[in-house]
Amino acid sequence: MKPKASFRLTATNRAVIIEYSQLIGCRPAEFLNRFLEDYLVQQFNDLRNGTREEFLCTFEFRDRSVAERLAAWLKEGHTQIKCQWELETEVLASTEGTYRVAAAKTRGGQMYRIG
């Protein structure tokens, strides 16, 4: 059994969840869980659509090892699908001391930037 994690929602996110759950007459937890299933879990589990890669590459990291772990994870995930595109990743350092991951799919001289 996985340990339960506790976290807080921002006031804005909490208000939106309450607003839409009241609109359709369900509990906020039910609304949030269904939203996450439809728009996070299903999208992130589809290895071909690039949603998780695009989203995760928007984060900045204080620790280079975390950025490197993400870059390796992206490459590993790409090897699980059979496609004609190659995935290139690079850890970029900012002048402020943070790091991010840039990723792109390439094939035959064409490049589609992911993040």
Q: Verify that 64 and 84 share a domain, yes or no.
A: yes
Report the C-alpha gap between 55 and 97 in whole angstroms. Answer: 21
Give this prediction's pTM: 0.77
Total number of domains constituting the chain: 2
**88: helix, strand or coil:** strand
Is 62 found in the same domain as 18? Answer: no
- Domain encompassing residue 96: 48-113
Domain identity same for 31 and 86? no
Same domain, 71 and 83: yes
The verdict on 62 and 98 lying in the same domain is yes
The verdict on 28 and 60 lying in the same domain is: no
| Residues 58, 94 contacting (CB under 8 angstroms) | no
CA 95, 96, 99, 100 dihedral sign is negative
Q: Do 20 and 63 lie in a common domain? A: no
- Indicate whether 66 and 85 sit together in one domain: yes
Q: What are the pLDDT tens digits along the chain (115 aa)?
A: 566 788 899 999 999 999 999 999 999 999 999 999 999 999 888 877 888 889 999 999 999 999 999 999 998 887 777 777 888 899 999 999 999 999 988 888 888 888 6
What region does 109 belong to: left with phi over 0, alpha with psi -120 to 50, or beta? Answer: left
For 17, counting Cβ atoms within 10 Å of its Cβ (0-12 exposed, 13-18 middle, 19+ buried), the class is middle
**Does residue 56 sit in the same domain as residue 86?**
yes
Q: In terms of domains, do 56 and 97 share one?
A: yes
Does residue 3 fall inside a structural domain?
no
User: What is the SS3 assignment for 22?
Assistant: helix
Cβ atoms < 10 Å from Cβ of 62: 10
